[in-house]
Amino acid sequence: MDFSLFLIDLQETHPLEIRPMIPPYLEDMDIEEKFLKSYMQLQRSIQLKNRILSLVNAYFIGKILTEIESTSERFRMKRRLTKHYLTMTEYTFNLFEPNPSQILRTKYLNVQDIRKMKRQEILVLRSYLNKDFAGAQNLGEESC
């Protein structure tokens, strides 16, 4: 897909009532269970061609991986993913980390397109998302 279309997607601000994203796991699960449950849900959502759910599941796997403190444990968990899924989850998390709820506003972005991007493109898109999110927070603070 066209990079400019992704940029437009990330700048989308339509006033949907955006509720917090629900992870595909229960908070009381251990890290291994969270990871496996999320991975299974990502595979299933891709199989069902559910674009938003795939983005959400990929985001949460990326989040789980970044929250693992031990580098050896993180490496072990990453090895359980194929290169395809590892790139997809890392890029999705990196892109939406500043504002995860933007996933629910997207209209075009999908995990396959994100996986095909170059890391530099992810960082450029992230900077736009981060800038727009910070600007929206500042506007919200001014109106109080």
Residue 16 lies in a domain: no
Residue 109 lies in a domain: yes
Residue 118 lies in a domain: yes
In contact, 10 and 106? CB cutoff 8 Å = yes
Q: Is 136 helix (H, G, I), strand (E, B) or coil?
A: helix
Residue 20 lies in a domain: no
Look up the pTM and report it: 0.86
Per DSSP (E only), the strands in 19-126 are none
Q: What is the DSSP string of 22-84?
A: PPSS-TTS-HHHHHHHHHHHHHHHHHTT-HHHHHHHHHHHHHHHHH---HHHHHHHHTTS-HH
Structural domain range at position 57: 3-9+30-142
Residue 89 lies in a domain: yes
Residue 51 lies in a domain: yes
Name residue 14's amino acid. H
Q: Is 1 helix (H, G, I), strand (E, B) or coil?
A: coil
Count the Cβ atoms, other than its own, within 10 Å of residue 31.
15
Residue 21 lies in a domain: no
The total number of structural domains in the chain stands at 1
pLDDT tens track of the chain, all 144 residues? 678 888 888 887 776 566 788 999 999 999 999 999 999 999 999 999 999 999 999 999 999 999 999 999 999 999 999 999 999 999 999 999 999 989 998 999 999 999 999 999 999 999 988 775 554 444 344 444
